[in-house]
Amino acid sequence: MGGKVAMHFALEHHEYVNKIVIIDIGVKSYPPNHDFILEALCSTEIESFRNRSNIGAELKKSISSESIINFLLKNVMRDKDSGFFKWKMNLKSIRKIITN
């Protein structure tokens, strides 16, 4: 997402940008194809789980790729105050931006 943000900023605010190097993404529109992942994340109430493997098992009901599940589990952390699991990412904002 950083490459797209940088390109958009350079286009909209070219007066602030002298040079830009983007190495991770091309200049083209990509069709949405990860809706099922977003839906799986949003429908998984991770605060109700006691361990990561159970969260992974729940995600596996909607996502068949073990590597994607393992990647997503890197975004799980325990809340310091409550001890419950939570997403590191702002899932509500991501969903709002992607679905609009």
Q: Could you tell me the mean pLDDT of each successive run of 10 residues in the chain, 100 residues long?
A: 82 93 76 86 94 96 96 95 94 81
Give the pLDDT confidence score for residue 69 in this predicted structure: 96
Whether 23 and 36 share a structural domain: no
Q: State whether 37 and 85 are in the same domain.
A: yes
Same domain, 90 and 59: yes
Q: How far apart are alpha carbons 51 and 13 in whole angstroms? A: 45
Q: What predicted TM-score, i.e. pTM, was given to this entire model?
A: 0.69
Total number of domains in the chain = 2
70 shares a domain with 40: yes
Q: How far apart are CA 32 and CA 93, in angstroms?
A: 16
Q: How far apart are CA 85 and CA 92, in angstroms?
A: 16
Q: Which domain holds residue 74?
A: 31-100
Instruction: Tell me, yes or no, whether 40 and 87 share the same domain.
Output: yes
Return the structure tokens found at 9.
């900023």
Residue 7 structure tokens: 């390109």
Residue type at 52?
A: R
